[in-house]
Amino acid sequence: MELHTDVLLVTANVGSLFDNVGEIERDWLREFFTTVHTHKPCFIALHFQEVGGKDYMVNMAHAENFFWTIESSSEMKDFDRVCVYVDSHFKAEDNFTALGSMYFIHKSLKNIQQYDFSAKEFKSVSGHNKYVGSLDGVATVEKEKFPKNFWPDIKWSRKGYMRTRWIIHNQGLDLVNVHLFHDASNLIACNSSPSVYSTNRQKALRYIINRISDSSYSPLPFFLFGDFNFRLDTQSLVQNLSTSAEVQTVKKDSSNEVEKIIYEEKDNDHKVLLHIETKLFAYLHQAVFRENNGKELLKYDKEIAAFHDVITEEQILFPPSYPYSEDYTKPTQYMNTRCPSWCDRILMSHSTQDIIQRREEGESNIVYNTLGPNVCMGDHKPVFLFFALKNNVH
């Protein structure tokens, strides 16, 4: 009997996929199918954020088509059970999250069940189950948008989480699709360490963890994967990048508000080293963000540290997943809108360590990486985790 089940988890912020329809989508799908073909998982979980993109009222039909393209493709024909959840009901502003989750079960995987949150019991999965639109009343998914009163001073946006719960070969687990708040202004992000945005994200993530760990349903090992919008500690990073530079702060005439900060290299004809505005982060030596997979910058990736009591993560060996150029011809270049960061992550509870099969020696059988590293995938590179889930043989 098989002692493990190969699992593939993928998270993808697909906002720019729908804002630039066409070329990106074709390559995106090819990269995804290639990864499935390479690793041959029996269970696949795909978590999407920003379904429909910024212009979701116009693009939502196209987004639904994208899900259908994956589901009906010849590459996925051996996955005979599929569960799809797309929160596309944008008219319900109070609870619209633009999250989408897809789960594929291979025909060889016999022993799998999904949780019904209203009946509070696991049920066997069969056929294709698609829920698109409002997910209210869908018993196999739990979805929540962050409460409006959480951050009274922040524009309320479509951020929240979506959870499904599974038993694979007697091993239970929660899979949670997460989208946290972004940094609205680079200038504000530089003001303090940690930034105000980082503090808000921490509060939101703690909220999700408490919600999925409360006593409503017995807690299980969980995987949280999505766009956490984790950013590098911008203040410390900027201080380090600009140690030998002259700084110039430009304020708006009408108010005392800072409009831009410019760092110039003193010993290099006052060349602009770094230029920061609300939505501009232009660094002269951008290559540093991809050198050695950005290893030098990981020390500024501090937001997960607050959760080490409950969460762990595989070692990051890939460059920051955001913000890549949306120019089809520049698949490995970052846009100068934001400081490159590891926004897209796959995090897991400490209890998952007991259910992931690791080899004793040498080569690890766990792969944590980006999809399409050399192909334009939009502004976010999707991130995936491939591992072997131990079968719990009673």
Query: What was the pLDDT predicted at 214?
Result: 86
Residue 160 lies in a domain: yes
- Percent of the chain clearing pLDDT 90 (strictly above): 75
* Mean pLDDT, rounded, for 58-80: 93
Residue 237 lies in a domain: no
Indicate whether 174 pLDDT > 80.
Answer: yes
* Mean pLDDT, rounded, for 126-144: 94
Rounded Cα–Cα distance for residues 336 and 64 (Å) = 31
Residue 238 lies in a domain: no
Residue 278 lies in a domain: no
Query: What was the pLDDT predicted at 363?
Result: 59
Q: For the whole model, what pTM was predicted?
A: 0.96
Residue 359 lies in a domain: yes
Residue 300 lies in a domain: yes
Domain of 17 in residue numbering reads as 4-232+289-326+338-390
Residues 350/221, Cβ–Cβ less than 8 Å: no
DSSP-derived pairing of the beta strands 367-370 and 356-357: unpaired
Q: Is 205 left (phi over 0), alpha (psi -120 to 50) or beta?
A: alpha
Residue 332 CA, distance from chain mean position: 19
Tokens of 334: 């970052």
Residue 252 lies in a domain: no
Q: Strand pairing partners for 224?
A: 176, 347
Residues 302/194, Cβ–Cβ less than 8 Å: yes
Look over the chain and give the mean of its residue pLDDT values, rounded to a whole number.
92
Q: Given pLDDT bands bounded at 50, 70 and 90, which one contains residue 70?
A: very high
Query: What was the pLDDT predicted at 372?
Result: 95
Q: Report the number of distinct structural domains present in the chain.
A: 1
Instruction: Kindly report the CATH number assigned to the domain that includes residue 86.
Output: 3.60.10.10
SS (H, E, C) the chain: CCCEEEEEEEEEECHHHHHCCCHHHHHHHHHHHHHHHHHCCCEEEEEEECCCCCCHHHHHHHHHHHHHHHHCCHHHCCEEEEEEEEECCCCCCCCCCCCEEEEEEECCCCCEEEEECCCCEEEECCCEEEEEECCCCCCCCEEEECCHHHCCCCCCCCCEEEEEEEEECCEEEEEEEEECCCCCCHHHHCCCCCCHHHHHHHHHHHHHHHHHHCCCCCCCCEEEEEECCCCCCHHHHHHHHCCCEEEEEEECCCCCCEEEEEEEECCCCCCEEEEEECCEEEECCHHHHCHHHHHHHHHHCCHHHHHCCCEECCCCCCCCCECECCCCCCCCCECCCCCCECCEEEEEEHHHHHCEECCCCCCCCCEEEECCCCCCCCCCCCEEEEEEEECCCC
Indicate whether 157 pLDDT > 80.
Answer: no
Residue 14 lies in a domain: yes
Tokens of 21: 């329809």
- Percent of the chain clearing pLDDT 70 (strictly above): 96
Interval 329-381: pLDDT, tens? 999 999 999 999 999 999 999 999 999 998 766 556 899 999 999 999 999 99
Tokens of 291: 């050198």
